[in-house]
């Protein structure tokens, strides 16, 4: 297999393809949603389509990185990394259940911080980096709040804060 074909089948490109397929499926299935005006809370397909656009852009970014910036490397799965990604996915899954109980602000900040902490190699952690990770997690929660609550008008659960 030549280097170009290997690059098109790299794990990065497979992730990129998955993002594009998922974005296409979201657009396809959201076409069946009813169309409401913004006075009634907006069309139900708005947020899924925002997600689809973000997935497509993310997939494009990964593809550019995989094809132009990073050379293709042989695929040797590192089970420690795969395990960390699985644990991070489990944390995000659990956050969905914690959302109504402890509220959006705390859940989003805690889930973002836990994901950063899990996916960052342990030898790189210092007190300064932990503080930076907490700041990034809080900033991510604020950005998500602004997008969903203020721009899209979605009511977010307050949990114990409400």
Helix (H) or strand (E) holding 40: none
Task: For residues 96 and 63, state if they share a domain.
Answer: no
Look up the pTM and report it.
Answer: 0.61
Task: For residues 87 and 53, state if they share a domain.
Answer: no
Tokens of 2: 């030549």
Cα(47)–Cα(94) distance, integer angstroms: 21
Cα(152)–Cα(47) distance, integer angstroms: 8
**Total count of domains within the chain:** 2
Its domain, for residue 146, covers: 78-162
25, 46, 76 - which closes a domain: 76
Task: For residues 2 and 72, state if they share a domain.
Answer: yes
Residue range 124-142, pLDDT digits in tens? 788 888 999 999 999 999 9
Task: For residues 53 and 83, state if they share a domain.
Answer: no
Residue range 86-131, pLDDT digits in tens? 888 899 889 989 988 999 999 999 999 998 888 887 777 888 889 9
Q: How much of the chain is in helix, strand and coil states, percent to nearest 5? A: 75, 0, 25
């Amino acid at each position: 297999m030549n280097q170009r074909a290997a690059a098109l089948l790299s794990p990065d490109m497979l992730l990129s393809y998955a993002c594009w397929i998922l974005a296409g499926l979201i657009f396809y299935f959201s076409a069946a949603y009813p169309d409401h005006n913004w006075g009634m809370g907006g069309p139900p397909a708005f947020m899924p389509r925002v997600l689809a656009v973000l997935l497509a852009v993310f997939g494009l970014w990964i593809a550019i990185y995989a094809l132009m910036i990073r050379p293709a490397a042989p695929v040797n799965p590192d089970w420690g990394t795969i395990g960390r990604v699985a644990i991070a996915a489990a944390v995000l899954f659990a956050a969905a259940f914690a959302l109504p109980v402890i509220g959006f602000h705390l859940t989003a900040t805690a889930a973002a911080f836990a994901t950063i902490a899990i996916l960052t190699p342990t030898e790189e952690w210092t007190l300064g980096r932990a503080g930076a990770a907490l700041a990034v997690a809080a900033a991510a929660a604020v950005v998500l709040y602004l997008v969903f609550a203020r721009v899209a008008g979605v009511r977010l659960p307050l949990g114990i804060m409400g």
